[in-house]
Amino acid sequence: MPISTVPVQGPIGVFDSGYGGLTILGKFRELLPQYDYLYLGDNARTPYGTRSFEVVYEFTLQAVRRLFELGCPLVIIACNTASAKALRSIQQNDLPYLDPSRRVLGVIRPTAECIGSITKTRHVGLLATAGTVKSGSYPLEIRKLFPDIQVTGMACPLWVPLVENNEADSEGADYFVYKYISRLLAEDSAIDTLILGCTHYPLLINKIRQFTPPHIRLVSQGEYVSRSLRDYLSRHPEMDGRCLKNGRCEFLTTESVEKFRECASVFMKQDVDVRSITLG
């Protein structure tokens, strides 16, 4: 059923499967503090990284609908897995009937856009969830823009749980961080740029740097995605006018409020105003 055809003013919706999108939201708030944001974490059903296309699409569509119902004119899917598996279908098939005046954007395209000016060898590595790697979305987007770049992906299934369990700085994390990076570099030793293609990986960046040869550049996507959002809003003044600018930020979770507050503190060093909702 359509949401509304009347242009609404509201916060920018930021959706993630869980807490990881808070790393992206943090960068939005640093670069664009004047906007209002409504963050939705589907914490009760995370992780998405191991789920099928159909399930990730269904869950993501439910989240986008809810953020639209709550008045967001623009929704950023801050989750790489959801961007990889659901964004295109939502943009092409669902948005036209939900409300064609609203927009849903993801994190893969803005990351792909910055890669061309970073890599010299034109060999790029992707570290991401199994779902994102398997989707082929990063190589596809990068090849569209820079056909000469070769992308090799490596799924890092244990990195999300390490971060979520607050083990990112532990000695135990060393083994798994080293394991996936060394495997990837063994597959393509010409790689000079590594994309951290998952919302959680900025929290592992010290360890990732420790096990990455110094000549390799790490691309942590938050800053590129936030710059891309700023450019998008300046190129689309009608959308910019529909985004509220009171510097407010609210949080929704499909888990309990207590759990969200506790776990979000790993990703953000502040107390949050959070409400619990159900999706589906």
What are the residue numbers of the active site?
79, 198
Could you tell me the smallest distance in angstroms from the CB atom of residue 24 to ligand DGL? 9
Between 15 and 35, CB nearer to ligand DGL:
15
Backbone angles phi, psi at 170, to 5 degrees: -85, 160
Could you tell me the smallest distance in angstroms from the CB atom of residue 99 to ligand DGL? 25
Asked if 79 interacts with ligand DGL (CB under 6 A), we say yes
Asked if 199 interacts with ligand DGL (CB under 6 A), we say yes
Start-to-end CA span in the chain (Å): 14
DSSP string, 148-162: T-EEEEEE-TTHHHH
Which residues are CB-contacts of 85 (< 8 A; sequence separation ≥ 6)?
48, 53, 56, 57, 60, 131, 135, 137
Q: In Å, how far from its chain's centre is CA 154?
A: 17
Return the range that interacts with ligand DGL (CB under 6 A); candidates 17-25, 85-93, 147-155, 185-193.
17-25
The CA distance from 110 to 87, in Å, is: 13
The CA distance from 130 to 51, in Å, is: 9
Between 9 and 166, CB nearer to ligand DGL:
166
The residue from 23, 43, 60, 80 that contacts ligand DGL (CB under 6 A) is 80
Return the range that interacts with ligand DGL (CB under 6 A); candidates 76-84, 113-121, 236-244, 265-273.
76-84
Exposed, middle or buried, 128 (CB in 10 Å: 0-12/13-18/19+)? buried
Strands 193-196 and 150-155, sheet pairing = unpaired
The CA distance from 23 to 14, in Å, is: 11
Between 17 and 253, CB nearer to ligand DGL:
17
Given a contact cutoff of 8 angstroms between Cβ atoms, the answer to whether 61 and 86 are in contact is: yes
Could you tell me the smallest distance in angstroms from the CB atom of residue 275 to ligand DGL? 21
DSSP string, 59-126: HHHHHHHHHHHTT-SEEEE--HHHHHHTHHHIIIIIHHHH-TTSEEE-SHHHHHHHHTTT-SSSEEEE
Could you tell me the smallest distance in angstroms from the CB atom of residue 238 to ligand DGL? 30
- Output the six-digit token pair for 5: 């055809």
Return the range that interacts with ligand DGL (CB under 6 A); candidates 13-21, 137-145, 232-240, 251-259.
13-21
Could you tell me the smallest distance in angstroms from the CB atom of residue 48 to ligand DGL? 4
Asked if 196 interacts with ligand DGL (CB under 6 A), we say no
The site string for ligand DGL over 154-173 (x = CB under 6 A, - otherwise) reads: ------x-------------
The site string for ligand DGL over 119-158 (x = CB under 6 A, - otherwise) reads: ----------x--x--------------------------
The residue from 16, 36, 99, 141 that contacts ligand DGL (CB under 6 A) is 16
The residue from 23, 81, 228, 253 that contacts ligand DGL (CB under 6 A) is 81
Contacting residues toward ligand DGL, per CB under 6 A? 16-18, 20, 46-49, 79-81, 129, 132, 160, 198-200
